[in-house]
Amino acid sequence: MTPNERQPDWPNDVEVPFRGEFVDFADVTTEIACAIADEVDESTGWGTGPAEVPTTEARLWRELADDLDRESADRVCDLSFEARFESAKRLQLPSPGWSLRAKRRG
């Protein structure tokens, strides 16, 4: 998907995990982005993936926080569509119709 193939609510309506809850990407503030980066940093060394994956993800959340500060935006939804799109793409947020929430078993 490119910015020209806009989905009306993507990436705003993607829910991202934050302190055991979920928050819409559109509502992420500088403080939330930094806190998510810290949470990801704390998880380094767990799981079966390479250790650099959490570090890279944490760096990307910090870059989003920097983008918010640079553009004097209170929340992600205050950024231009292109900035939101690029941040979501770098963070590999799910495409429309997908979710980061775990599916509940029947």
32-63 residue pLDDT tens = 999 999 988 887 655 555 555 567 889 999 99
Range 21-40 average pLDDT: 94
What's the confidence (pLDDT) of residue 36? 94
| pLDDT exceeds cutoff 80 at 30 | yes
Which residues make Cβ contacts (< 8 Å) with residue 42, sequence separation at least 6? none
Which residues make Cβ contacts (< 8 Å) with residue 54, sequence separation at least 6? 40, 41, 43, 44
Q: Within 10 A of 32 (CB to CB), how many other CB atoms are there?
A: 21
| pLDDT exceeds cutoff 80 at 101 | no
Query: Coil, strand, or helix at residue 24?
Result: strand
DSSP letter for 23, please: E
